[in-house]
Chains A and B, each alone.
Chain A
């Protein structure tokens, strides 16, 4: 090995030379002052760089980062939950359907109005339909259906509220 290049010296200090190459380099360096000087300088660079110290980031950086994350999270508009919107819409359509069907059955002569004194007074103002509406709800089957639908609506509202609360908590947590 007549010419010891910088490449070889870099491999030497990184311990990447094969044993036979290492022996050759050591042998050559003993005879070659210029190569020895380059090796010394390279070792000095290597040793100095190993003592390189990490610089300190600004003290309040963590707080700034967490605040930025929090702000970024708040800036994100919550997505509309189409699932709940669909459920409520279907429910509303169902309720309307039941009411319409009930009115039709009353029109057919199933209803028997029990007019209270109060309703007598309001009858002229609101009209005949309100009385029929009251009769409709006096039917036990209708009441059962409406109760079930109301229960479903309350459960849906509760679930929606819980989902919204969880989402808000998550945002605040950020």
Chain B
């Protein structure tokens, strides 16, 4: 079967084939779920937010412009839904989310995670979850979803410069932890 592009699927849905939306859900659900789980740090909340996100996407398809990148638009909805859920849970969203000047203090969890991980890769991936939300999301969108910094800035509503700063800060924070544990010596 020919691989349908996002736009082809959307056109089909707009013609009345609503069941084709499941193709888009299956295509993006894992990546969107990964993103939401990082934002909400809870699988149940992430699943609920994911359903809500896809519902918003479906209802918004009629306004979706063909010239836009569907994945960027979808991630933006997922991202904002995640933030809304986070906000409704009365976490300290302003403290965590409002600026790029978030605290990269990973020391609280470092010893525990360092003691329970088997290798450097596992250690780094676990520490990503401890990054400030925006920092973690930039890392996820950049490395896991393969979005460009420009696309990430559109998703997150930040400037390109700030997006790059967030990525660098996140990598630097992880790099400092590796230096602390002398992990760099493992690299030849």
Binds B, one of A58-66, A112-120, A154-162: A58-66
Asked whether B187 lies within 8 Å of A44 as measured between CB atoms, the reply is yes
The CA of A42 and the CA of B140, in the complex, are separated in Å by: 17
Which of B22, B34, B174 is the one whose CB lies under 8 Å from A45? B174
CB distance from B103 to the nearest CB of A (A): 17
**Other-chain residue from B37, B51, B121, B124 in contact with A61 (beta carbon distance below 8 A):** B51
Shortest Cβ gap from A14 to chain B (Å): 9
Quick check: B33 and A55 within 8 Å, CB to CB? yes
Which size class do A's interface residues fall under?
35 or more
User: B residues bordering A, Cβ < 8 Å?
Assistant: 16-19, 21-22, 25-26, 29-34, 37, 43, 47, 50-51, 54-55, 58-59, 120-121, 124-125, 128, 139-140, 142-144, 167-168, 171-172, 174-176, 178-179, 183-184, 186-187
Closest 9 CB pairs of A and B: A57-B33, A40-B184, A41-B178, A41-B184, A57-B29, A48-B124, A49-B143, A55-B34, A41-B175
Can you give 27 A-B contacts (C-beta < 8 A)? Answer: A6-B175, A37-B179, A38-B179, A38-B184, A41-B179, A41-B184, A44-B124, A44-B178, A44-B183, A46-B171, A48-B120, A48-B124, A48-B125, A49-B142, A51-B121, A52-B125, A52-B128, A54-B30, A54-B34, A61-B33, A61-B47, A65-B21, A66-B25, A69-B18, A72-B55, A173-B16, A174-B18
